[in-house]
Amino acid sequence: MNTKTILITGGTGGIGKAAALELAKQSHYIIITGRDKSTAEKAVAEIQEESRNKRVDYLLADMSSLADINNLVEAFKSKYDQLDVLINNVGIVAHERQLSEDNIELNFAVHTLAPFVLYKELLPLLLKAKGARVVNVLTQNHAMVNRHSLSDFQSEQKYMGMNEYGKTKLYNLWWLYDLASSTSPHQISFFGADPGPNNTQLMTNAMQTGKSWPIGLRILRPVVMPIMKSVLKNKPVSNGARSIVFAATAKELEGKTGLYINDKGRIGKSSKLSYDTTKQQEMGKVVEEMYHLTIKKLA
Ligand SMILES: NC(=O)c1ccc[n+]([C@@H]2O[C@H](COP(=O)([O-])OP(=O)(O)OC[C@H]3O[C@@H](n4cnc5c(N)ncnc54)[C@H](OP(=O)(O)O)[C@@H]3O)[C@@H](O)[C@H]2O)c1
């Protein structure tokens, strides 16, 4: 097997850790990220032991901080000279509108901008690998957005937690498809991966109060909660990892790009709006402009 160097953000817990474990079992070189040193060290030791693969390492970064992302990139470049697969896995649920330390709405900072900045900054290393892949971890919630104007992309006028979560994941998919349309898959392929519902910290946060839910779902909460709980009981995180692992290493995806991998770990379809090429290009421009602004600030 061709050993790949794989960077997966948020690999200390949840679906990211499960995906890191499966990829380590495939004998690849795995670098996970987390925010806390001892949690990251513990996760690395557990993945190494269970996969019997010692080539598992970690780097620290809070994905809501552009300075941290910059440090992560520098640390990665100082240790590795090539990147075969970048997996943008970190996801959050923010019940209230919050700004990152860079004054960017938190969902946008973590789900949309951070993965793009990582991609841009690691591009020279991705180009060194033959047929590198970028995998953005998405959610079916992106399909909750069926009409959209980019005029309020930082949600200053209206904020509803789960909507922002889905919306910023749709943004992430738009720029991914935009790059896929302009990049040869022989250089880099771009895939979205939907893990489906899983019993993780993120899901616990999402279900905690119902505060972030759209009004219709909030009213139905007493009915919805028991259903959700029974669905999640039968969803080990290894299920969630399937789509990510397939997108990262499946041979049948060689030479392909711009695909959405569903929670069964197969090629599927994202929402109708996600295929709007005008929106894809608009979001491509937004993240490119924001990237240049951030780079100037960090220089
Ligand atoms: N769970 C689901 O039902 C579900 C469904 C569809 C899609 N997804 C997607 O799957 C991905 C993984 O979600 P999950 O459910 O596994 O979440 P999770 O269990 O909450 O994720 C935990 C990982 O994310 C890291 N993390 C959280 N916030 C971070 C931040 N600001 N900066 C850096 N790292 C951060 C954690 O690292 P620390 O050690 O630093 O805490 C940990 O490694 C997300 O993109 C999510 O949107 C999840």
What distance in Å separates the CA atoms of residue 15 and residue 151, rounded to the nearest whole number? 33
Of 123, 164, 147, 170, the residue nearest 7 (C-alpha): 123
Tell me the CA–centroid distance for residue 113 and ligand 1, in Å: 16
Atom of ligand 1 nearest to the CA of 232: 3
Q: Please tell me the residue having the least CA distance from ligand 1 atom 37.
A: 34
Per-residue pLDDT at 116 exceeds 80:
yes
**Residue that the structure tokens 């001892």 belong to:** 38
Q: Is position 231 within any domain?
A: no
Range of the domain at 31: 5-198+237-298
Query: In terms of residues, how long is the chain?
Result: 299
What distance in Å separates the CA atoms of residue 255 and residue 14, rounded to the nearest whole number? 30
Tell me the CA–centroid distance for residue 273 and ligand 1, in Å: 25
* Strands 259-261 and 85-88, sheet pairing: unpaired
Pocket test for ligand 1, best of 90, 199, 201 (most atoms within 8 A of CB): 90
By annotation, the residues acting in catalysis are 165
User: How large is the average pLDDT for residues 105-112?
Assistant: 97
Q: Cβ(179) to ligand 1 under 6 A?
A: no
pLDDT in the model for residue 43:
98
pLDDT in the model for residue 1:
66
pLDDT in the model for residue 70:
95
Q: Is position 207 within any domain?
A: no
Tell me the CA–centroid distance for residue 37 and ligand 1, in Å: 17
Tell me the CA–centroid distance for residue 14 and ligand 1, in Å: 6
- Please write the tens of the pLDDT for every residue from 238-284: 899 999 999 999 999 999 999 999 999 999 999 999 999 999 999 99
Per-residue pLDDT at 207 exceeds 90:
no
Q: Cβ(91) to ligand 1 under 6 A?
A: yes
| Confidence bin at 138 (pLDDT 50/70/90) | very high
Q: Is position 228 within any domain?
A: no
Atom of ligand 1 nearest to the CA of 92: 28
Tell me the CA–centroid distance for residue 127 and ligand 1, in Å: 27
Q: Is position 217 within any domain?
A: no
Query: Which CA distances in Å does 103 have to 73, 107, 108, 152, 235?
Result: 21, 12, 11, 15, 36
User: How large is the average pLDDT for residues 111-118?
Assistant: 97
Segment among 117-121, 171-175, 212-216, 280-284 with least mean pLDDT: 212-216
Number of domains forming the structure of the chain: 1
Q: Is position 36 within any domain?
A: yes
Pocket test for ligand 1, best of 162, 200, 239 (most atoms within 8 A of CB): 200
Query: Which CA distances in Å does 112 have to 56, 74, 170?
Result: 27, 21, 9
What distance in Å separates the CA atoms of residue 127 and residue 249, rounded to the nearest whole number? 17
Provide the CATH number for the domain around residue 138: 3.40.50.720
Q: Is position 214 within any domain?
A: no
Residue 140, token pair as written in the block: 């079916």
| 268, amino acid identity | G
Per-residue pLDDT at 127 exceeds 70:
yes
- Please write the tens of the pLDDT for every residue from 5-54: 999 999 999 999 999 999 999 999 999 999 999 999 999 999 999 999 99
Q: Is position 86 within any domain?
A: yes
pTM (2 d.p.):
0.96
Q: In angstroms, how far is CA 136 from the centroid of its own chain? A: 4
Q: Is position 136 within any domain?
A: yes
Segment among 2-6, 88-92, 139-143, 205-209 with least mean pLDDT: 205-209
User: How large is the average pLDDT for residues 68-91?
Assistant: 97
Tell me the CA–centroid distance for residue 289 and ligand 1, in Å: 26
Q: Cβ(105) to ligand 1 under 6 A?
A: no
**Residue that the structure tokens 């991609």 belong to:** 119
Pocket test for ligand 1, best of 21, 89, 191 (most atoms within 8 A of CB): 89
Q: Cβ(109) to ligand 1 under 6 A?
A: no
pLDDT in the model for residue 177:
98
